[in-house]
Every structure is written in structure tokens, then in C-alpha cells.
Structure 1
Amino acid sequence: MGVAAVIALVFSTIATRATNDTVTAAKKQVELTRRQVELTERGQITDRFTAAVEQLGSDDSEVRLGGLYALERIAKDSETDQPVVIEVVGTFVRENAKPAGTPPAKPVSPPRAEPAEVPPPAVDVQGGVSVIGRREMRAVADIIDLSHINLAGLDANIPDRPAQNFAKALLEGTDLSSADVGRVNFTGAQMRDVRLVAASGSRSNFTMTAMSHADLTRAELNGAVMLGVRLDRATARRAAFDGADMSKAILVNADLRDAQLGGVNFMEANLVNADLRSAYLGGAQFPKADLTGAKVTADQLNTAVVDGTTKLPRGLALIDGKVRTVP
């Protein structure tokens, strides 16, 4: 190798090293800039969070509502902060909503009169519940505790908005009387002793929801998805569930007197000792359902779909495709 070639190789090596050093320095600068941006953004989020929480302590309900919506925006901008934000909003709702069992603000209607209109929750409480309902669900849902509070009159079904989501929420003993729960997702929620008196809304989802001892008197939940729901010892007199899916539901000792159950899918449901007197069962499906001890007549069941897999109460039998009274 000649002298010129050696000199050229030396200069090439030096140039390469210089280039590599420049690239390394540039990468370090980019990383430093990224970290500075992250620190700046984190500081901004912290400032926004502090300001929003301060708004929640205002005497003005509109200011509190603004604070709730500011927290919602933080949750959308920062996924890592969502659990803390939702916990704060949930605490706000629990502390500002009336406890379950609180008498309504308006006088109760006199006997035989039309039911009194139930006033909705305070605007900021309604807003807080909406923020929780609009949260983005992650792979493992955070447990939302809204138990034992009065949310009577809540409007959770907002047109042209995504469905509210209370999957796996803790709603035991909560009062949702006269609430609009259309399209709301209660999948897997704990709703023992919940009050849904005169609640309304189609296409709600109560899949695998625990609702033992719930009061659904006069509720209108037509088309609801209630696969595997637990409604043992629940009261649903004069309620409407037309077209609902109650397959594999547990309705042991449930009171369904005068209920509208047209077209309901009761396949594999457990209705042992359920009270179905005067309930409308037209088109309801009872294959593999257990009606042992249920209070129901042959005439009612002959309007429904019953087959040899249906366990009928004592005194009733399927003969020639018809349910008949037997000794």
C-alpha cells in the first residue's frame, strides 16, 4: 500500500469517527430534548390537575362541573393518570350525592295519583357520573365505587354519545329509580339491593350482573341483555322486559307478577319458586329452563315456547305439545 493510500485510509477513519461522534451527540441531544419535553408536559398536567381539583371545592356548581370536565380531559391526554382521575371523580360523586334512602326533594304523590316526577341529581353529580361512564376501559377495568348513594333520576343515556360504561362497578344499594339507563353497560357490576324502580332504557347490558334483592318495580328494560344475571329474590312487579335475553339467568324466588315478558329468552334460566302470576309470557322461550315450584299457569305457558327439556312446576305437564294441568 502506497503512502497516499495510507494517508487516505487514516483520514477516512478519522472522518468516520467524527461522523459517529456527531451521530451519538445528536442522539443524546434528541433524548435530552425528549426528556425535557416529557418533564414539561408532566409539569403542565400536574398544574392542570391541581387547578381542576381546586375547582371541585368551589361553591359554584358550574365551576365544579368545569373542574370535572377538566379532569376528564387530563384522563384522555394522559393514560397513566386515568386511574387517579377516575378515583378523584368517584370520590367527588360519593361525597356530593345524597345517600341512598334520602327522601325526594318533592312531595310524594298521594295514593292512586300519578307517580311524582323524580328530580335528577345535582348537575355536578350528574356530570361526575357521566365522566366515569365515558372513561376508556382498559384490559383490567378499575373498580368504580358508587355504592349506597342516591342517583335517582339520573340520565345516563345521552343521544349521539357513546354508551355509558359501568362494567364491574360497585353499585350495591344505589338508588337509580327513574333513571334512564338505555344502552348503559353494567356487565359484571355488583348491584345487590339496587333500586331501579321505574327506570327505563332499552338495550342495556346486565350480563353476569349481581342484582340479588334488587327492586325493578315498573322498570322498562325492553331488549336488555341479561345473560347470566342474578335476580334471585328480586322484585320486578309490572316491569317490562319484552325481548330481553335472560338465558342462564338466576331468578330464584323472584317476584315477576304482572310483568311483561314477551319474547324473553329464558333458555337454561333458573326460575325455581319464581312468582309469574299474571305475567305476559307470549313468545317467551323456556327450553332447559327450571320452573320447579314457580307460580305460573298452563294457559300462560301455552303462549310461550316450552319443550321436553323444560322443568315444569308440580301439577303441570307437557302432553302432546301442550302444557296441561295434571293431578
Structure 2
Amino acid sequence: MVVAAVVVLGALSWFVVVLLPGWTAGGDVARLPPAERLTAVGAVRTQWITWTSVITGLGVGAYGVYRFYLDKDKQRLDQDKHLTGLFDSATGRLESDDPTVRAGGLRTLFRLMTDSPRDHQPVVDTLCDVLRQRAADSAAGRLPRDVVAAADALRDRPDRPEIRPVDLAGVRLPGVRWPGIRLPHADLGSVCLDGADLTGAVLTGADLADADLGKAKLAGVTAAGATLKNAVLTGADLSSANLRDADLTRARLQGATVPGADFTGADLTDADLRGVDLRTTTGLTGASLERAVVDGDTVLPVAAR
């Protein structure tokens, strides 16, 4: 192929340099004196060489662009093949009987999610599937390695738009460390997160009905508009929590610490606030507290007395 290209290029050069200038210059050139004839043919030859160089350059450039996109497509296909293989290999390890092997697969999925935005949602869904399957019956104490790996990956996932809320209904993750986790509008109904660390978590609009959050660290949590019906919050730390417009119907908050918590617009119907110090909270009114359950040990804010 190289020899053929050299032959074609040589023939084209001979045609442009030797034959074409004479033809283009026309028959009148033959009647010119030798010096002028040589000058005229040379001028035409120069023009043709220039145009040929331009056209050749454009052709080479176009071919280069074509090769660039061709190579780019090949690289993309190779990368897709690699990522698909990585996903299949990682999910395959989730079927192992060894929790350490499963944890390794989950950490591989986390790396895949971090490197590939397109695979973000499938990996999040897989993490939720694992937590629903493996953590539903987790007893209090040390969580299995694969459950910890899935929980850590969900907590540390990249902050990207997600097409559906996280679904962890009924999951048991006592003592899980989830500071700063983002679970807006998540389905967390009947979860067990007693003793968990959710400091600074984003739970805006989340469904936490019947959730067990006893003794959980919820300082600085954003739970505006969240549903906390029948939630167990006994002994929980809700310092500076944003509970605006939250539904706390029949929630149990005995022994909870709530300094700086914002209850503006929250529904406290039958919420158990016995013994809770509410002095530094905001948003509580006499009307909202009339629907709550209080006792002589409940310390009311001045504005609501």
C-alpha cells in the first residue's frame, strides 16, 4: 500500500509539474520568445503547485479529523466494553457467600460510579438492593462488611442528579455512620437507624414514618417537609435541626435534645414532648403545642407560654 501511494503521488506530481502547466497556458505560449514562454509556464506551474498543495493539505486535514473521530469512537466503545465488564464482574461477586468478597465487589461499583456518571443511577439502585436484602435483618452490633461497604458507598456517592429517590424502606442499619448523607425524598419508612450518625444529613421531604431513630445523632439535619409520623426519636440529638413543615404526628421525642431546632409549621399532633427542653427552639406556638403531649418537665419556649 505504501509503494502504491508513492507511485500515485509521483505520477500526480509529474502531471502537475510537467504536463498540466503547458496545457493550461494554452497554444499562444508557443509563439512567445523562449524566456517569456519559460516565465509563463513557470507562473502557471507555481499556481497549480500552490492549489495542489492546498487541496492536498485539506485532504490530509479532513482525513486526520476522520481518523480522530474514528479513534475516539473506538476508544469510547473500548471504554464501554471495559465498564460493562467491570459492572458485570462486580455484581457477580455480590452472589458470593463470603461477605469480604461481596464488600470488594461493592467497592468496585463505587469506583465505577465515581468514574462514570452514566453508571451512577444503576449503581445507586444496586446499593439500595443490597442494603434492602442484606441489612433488613441486621441485628444490633457490628454490621457485616458488605453492608458497611454498601452504606459507605451510598453516603460518599458523587453529588449528581438522580432520576428517582433512594428506597431503603424497612432496612436495619443500627449505628451506621452517615454524616452528611443526601437522602432527599427518600423512602425510609420503618427503617431502624437507632444510634446512627446522621449529623448534617439532607432528608428534605423524606418518608421516615415509623422509623426508629432513637439516640441517633441528627444535629444540623435538614428534614424540612419530611414525614416523621410515629417515628421514634427518644434520646436523639436534634440540635439545630431544620424541621420546618415536618409531620411529627405521634412522634416520640422523650429525652431528645433540640436546642436551636426549627419547628416552624411542623405538625406536632400527639407528638410526645414530655421532659423536652424547648426553650431555644424556634417556630413553636401555643397552638402547635396544644396538640402535643407535654408534662410538667417539658420546658416551653417563652413565646409559647
Q: Tell me if TM exceeds 0.5.
A: yes
User: Is residue 2:116 matched to residue 1:78?
Assistant: yes
Stretch moving more, 87-96 or 129-138:
129-138
SS of the aligned residue for 1:14 comes to helix
Distance change (3 Å), C-alpha of 1:267 and 1:280: closer
Kindly report which structure 2 residues correspond to 1:93-108, keeping only aligned pairs within 5 A, or say none. 93-99=131-137, 104=139
User: Is residue 2:147 matched to residue 1:130?
Assistant: no
Compute the displacement of 1:36 (Å).
1.1
Distance in 1 (alpha carbons) for counterparts of 2:133 and 2:161: 28
SS of the aligned residue for 1:148 comes to coil
Distance in 2 (alpha carbons) for counterparts of 1:240 and 1:87: 34
Structure 2 equivalent of residue 247 of structure 1 = 264
Q: TM-score scaled to structure 2, two decimals? A: 0.80
User: Residue deviations 1:78-100, cap 9 Å, x none?
Assistant: 0001111111111111111134x
Structure 2 equivalent of residue 170 of structure 1 = 187
User: Is residue 2:68 matched to residue 1:51?
Assistant: no
SS of the aligned residue for 2:302 comes to coil
Distance change (3 Å), C-alpha of 1:139 and 1:54: closer
Structure 2 equivalent of residue 64 of structure 1 = 102
Percent of paired sites with the same residue: 26
Instruction: Point out the structure with the larger helix share.
Output: 2
- 1:251, 1:271 within 8 Å by CA — same for their partners in 2? yes
User: Is residue 2:193 matched to residue 1:193?
Assistant: no
State the number of aligned residues.
266
Kindly report which structure 2 residues correspond to 1:197-276, keeping only aligned pairs within 5 A, or say none. 197-266=214-283, 270-276=288-294
Kindly report which structure 2 residues correspond to 1:32-47, keeping only aligned pairs within 5 A, or say none. 32-47=70-85
Distance change (3 Å), C-alpha of 1:5 and 1:278: farther
Structure 2 equivalent of residue 181 of structure 1 = 198
Compute the displacement of 1:3 (Å).
4.8
Stretch moving more, 58-67 or 223-232:
223-232
Larger Rg: 2
User: Is residue 2:161 matched to residue 1:139?
Assistant: yes
Distance in 1 (alpha carbons) for counterparts of 2:296 and 2:260: 18
Compute the displacement of 1:32 (Å).
0.9
Distance in 2 (alpha carbons) for counterparts of 1:126 and 1:257: 35
SS of the aligned residue for 1:253 comes to coil
User: Residue deviations 1:88-129, cap 9 Å, x none?
Assistant: 111111111134xx8x5xxxxxxxxxxxxx414323212212
- 2:106, 2:149 within 8 Å by CA — same for their partners in 1? yes
Could you list the runs of 5+ residues in structure 2 that have no partner in the other structure?
1-24, 26-39
Structure 2 equivalent of residue 305 of structure 1 = 302
Distance in 2 (alpha carbons) for counterparts of 1:166 and 1:126: 17
Stretch moving more, 16-25 or 246-255:
246-255
Could you list the runs of 5+ residues in structure 1 that have no partner in the other structure?
105-117, 158-162, 282-299, 311-322
Distance in 2 (alpha carbons) for counterparts of 1:134 and 1:274: 37
Structure 2 equivalent of residue 293 of structure 1 = none
Q: Which amino acid aligns with 2:198?
A: V
